[in-house]
Structures are given as structure tokens and as C-alpha cells.
């Protein structure tokens, strides 16, 4: 973490850190350790340590939620088809939930958890997809827990900047021998993989609701064989899937503080799945590029844009040329083709 030194009463100019003015009298007396405040990507503030080597570091606000402290990050692929919709657990603790189209026009979740707020159990865990790799690239070397993948995708997953957590390399971390339905205990994963990357800025910004929002009581998104609805309930959004209220087995109705409908191109993927006894082309959602986005928070909607210049770059979410500010909390991002 960087240290700011004050000379002649003026703070040094450190890239990426906000400036804080100090009076001349305070600067002259500043022989004791000092601290500066810097603006993190989400608009939250974190401490920058002073000169003391014994002072503990200030906690860093979680850039994925705009509140709480940042922890190490684990992403989990979660089933969302048929019976699995009634077996889901832990979703309401996810910092982010990406809703992704898979083969047959069905959907699957990529839920992102940080170690400071992870639930006791997550699942049912299912297989990885090509879309996951560039989607997770801005997060750094985080964990990705999944139950398996088609053979063609395995080399891509191995080459990605991810720490993969699977029944093949960590069988004791998965229930039911890794067979569906299988679940993981995030605390065990974080203990087994202590060097997972910490939550970092992936482009989300948090703060007071910007001007220009319009009242909205609901939002909806569709995939060829899946539908999603979000209904305003106070400051939150209740989630419905395929016309039914979604409910977790451990945390009650599934809900989010923010909803982003990110309009993307869904194209044929690199690989074909033959596991069902017939060929299924795996589709790929393009999250590097730019497009339209709809933002829902506090019973309002804003229409804007998203842009991502490279796979490992943060995604910028904007309205009227400026950043869209989300309410601190949990966000669902639906990748709608």
C-alpha cells in the first residue's frame, strides 16, 4: 500500500489516489503518522497508511458491493434448470450474480463471492463455459469452482488466469462425490486456496442515485428458453425465473439491490457438447466490446451503455456520458442477447 508524504504543507501527487488538503499549521506539526483518504473505484473510501510501521492497515471497502470490507474472491457456476431452481443455496450472499445463456437457450449463473461475506453452502454447482473466462479476467487470479467442462474447454480454463476448483483437483471440497447435485462450503475453499485474489475494481461505481431515473416497478429479460423478472420490493428487487418466484433453500426469496440488463451479442462458441448424446453447440456471450445497458435501483430505471476495451479491463457502465452509480449492495447482471 502506498504512503503519502507531505512537503511544505502540500500532499504528494500519487496516481489513482484522491487529494486531501491540509492547513499549513497541521503540516508543520505532522511529525506523527498521517493518513490520507482515497477514492476507490466504487466511490467508497479506503485508508492509506501513514509513516508508522506498526499501525495496522485500514480496511479496504469492497469494490464489488461498495460496502463492507474486501475479501478474497471465489466464483461459482450454479445450475438454473429444472429441479435445480428449487435447490439453490447461498445466492443472496453473492456480491455479483451474472446470468449467462448456455446451449439450448437455457441459463446458468456465475455467482461471485468474497471471503468476508460468503455463505455456509453454495450450489448446486455445475460446469464451466467459455463465457466465464473473459468475464472473470478483470477480477485477477480468483477461484472458479465448477463441476466439470467439455474436453475442448479444459485447456482454455487451464491457461486462464484462474485458480480452478473442481472435483478432479479438489474432490473433498464437493459434496455427493461431485455428482449433481453437488455443493461446496466456501470457507473450506478459501482455506484450501489462501492465495485467491482479493476483490478489486472491475468497473462498478456506487453512490447516491443519479438524476434522470424514471419510476420502474419491474424489469424483465429473456433468453431463448429462459425468462427473468425483477419486481421492486422497497429498495430491493425480487427475482422470478420462468414465471415463478425464485427462492433459496437457506436465505428465503432470491433478491438483489441492483439489476443491470447488459445487452450483448450471443454467438456460436468454440466447442460442441456431446455429453447429452447429441451435439449441442455451446454459445458465447461477448462481454468485451460495447452495447446498451439498463440499470435498476431504488425503484427506478436508467438507460445507458456498457463498454469493455479488453478481456481483462474493467467494464464501464455509463449514463449520459458519466458513470452509473449503483446503490451499495448486491448486483445481478443479466447478459441478454
Task: Tell me if 102 sits within 8 A of 65, measured CB to CB.
Answer: no
DSSP run (H or E) holding 286: strand 280-286
Tell me, what's the pLDDT at 281? 81
pTM of the model: 0.83
Report which of 108, 99, 138, 132 is spatially closest to residue 262, judged by C-alpha positions.
Answer: 99
Is 81 a member of any domain?
no
Q: 86 by DSSP, 3-state: which?
A: helix
CATH code for position 221 = 3.50.90.10
Tell me, what's the pLDDT at 253? 98
Query: In terms of residue numbers, what domain contains 218?
Result: 205-336
Tell me, what's the pLDDT at 212? 96
Region of 234 please: left (phi>0), alpha (psi -120 to 50) or beta: left
Tell me, what's the pLDDT at 24? 34
Spans of the chain, pLDDT less than 50: 1-53
Query: Which of 33, 48, 63 finishes a domain?
Result: 48
Tell me, what's the pLDDT at 14? 29
Tell me, what's the pLDDT at 20? 34
Return the sign of the alpha-carbon dihedral for residues 30, 33, 38, 44.
negative
Is 127 a member of any domain?
no
Is 199 a member of any domain?
no
Is 231 a member of any domain?
yes
HSE value, Cβ hemisphere, 13 Å, CA-based, for 181 = 17
Is 26 a member of any domain?
yes
Long-range contacts of 17-23 (CB under 8 A, 24+ apart): 17/48
Number of domains composing the chain: 2
Is 329 a member of any domain?
yes
Is 34 a member of any domain?
yes
3-state SS track over 191-223 = HHCCCCCECCCCCCEECCCCCCCEECCEEEEEE
Question: Within the chain, how many helices (H) and strands (E) appear?
Answer: 4, 27
Is 281 a member of any domain?
yes
Tell me, what's the pLDDT at 271? 85
C-alpha of 211 from chain center = 25
Q: 25 by DSSP, 3-state: which?
A: helix
Alpha carbons 98 and 17: distance in angstroms, whole number? 30
Amino acid at each position: 500500500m502506498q504512503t503519502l508524504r507531505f512537503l511544505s504543507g502540500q500532499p504528494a501527487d500519487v496516481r489513482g489516489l484522491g487529494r486531501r488538503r491540509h492547513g499549513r499549521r497541521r503540516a508543520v506539526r505532522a511529525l506523527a503518522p498521517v493518513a490520507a483518504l482515497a477514492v476507490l473505484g466504487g466511490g467508497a473510501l479506503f485508508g492509506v497508511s501513514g509513516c508508522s510501521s506498526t499501525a495496522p492497515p485500514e480496511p479496504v471497502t469492497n469494490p464489488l458491493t461498495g460496502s463492507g470490507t474486501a475479501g478474497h474472491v471465489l466464483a461459482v457456476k450454479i445450475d438454473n434448470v429444472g429441479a435445480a431452481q428449487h435447490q439453490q443455496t447461498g445466492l443472496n450472499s453473492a456480491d455479483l450474480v451474472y446470468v449467462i445463456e448456455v446451449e439450448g437457450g437455457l441459463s446458468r449463473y456465475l455467482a461471485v463471492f468474497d471471503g468476508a461475506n460468503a455463505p455456509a453452502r453454495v450450489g448446486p454447482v455445475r460446469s464451466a463455459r467459455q463465457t466465464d473466462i473473459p468475464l472473470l479476467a478483470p477480477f485477477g487470479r480468483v477461484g472458479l469452482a465448477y463441476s466439470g467442462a467439455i474436453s475442448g474447454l479444459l485447456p482454455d480454463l487451464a491457461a486462464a488466469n484462474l485458480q480452478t476448483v473442481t472435483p478432479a483437483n479438489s474432490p473433498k471440497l464437493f459434496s455427493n462425490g461431485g455428482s449433481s447435485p453437488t455443493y461446496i462450503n466456501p470457507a473450506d475453499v478459501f482455506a484450501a486456496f489462501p492465495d485467491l485474489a482479493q476483490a478489486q475494481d472491475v468497473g462498478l461505481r456506487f453512490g447516491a442515485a443519479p438524476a434522470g431515473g424514471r419510476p420502474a416497478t419491474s424489469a424483465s429479460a429473456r433468453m431463448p428458453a429462459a425468462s427473468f423478472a425483477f419486481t421492486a420490493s422497497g429498495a430491493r428487487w425480487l427475482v422470478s425465473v420462468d414465471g415463478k418466484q425464485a427462492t433459496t433453500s437457506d436465505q428465503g426469496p432470491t433478491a438483489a439491490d441492483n439489476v443491470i440488463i447488459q445487452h450483448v451479442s450471443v454467438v456460436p462458441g468454440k466447442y460442441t457438447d456431446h455429453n447429452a448424446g447429441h451435439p449441442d453447440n455451446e454459445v458465447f456471450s461477448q462481454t468485451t466490446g460495447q452495447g446498451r445497458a439498463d440499470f435498476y435501483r431504488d425503484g427506478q430505471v436508467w438507460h445507458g451503455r456498457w463498454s469493455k476495451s479488453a478481456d481483462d479491463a474493467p467494464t464501464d457502465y455509463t449514463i449520459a456520458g458519466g458513470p452509473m452509480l449503483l446503490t451499495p449492495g448486491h448486483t445481478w447482471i443479466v447478459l441478454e442477447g
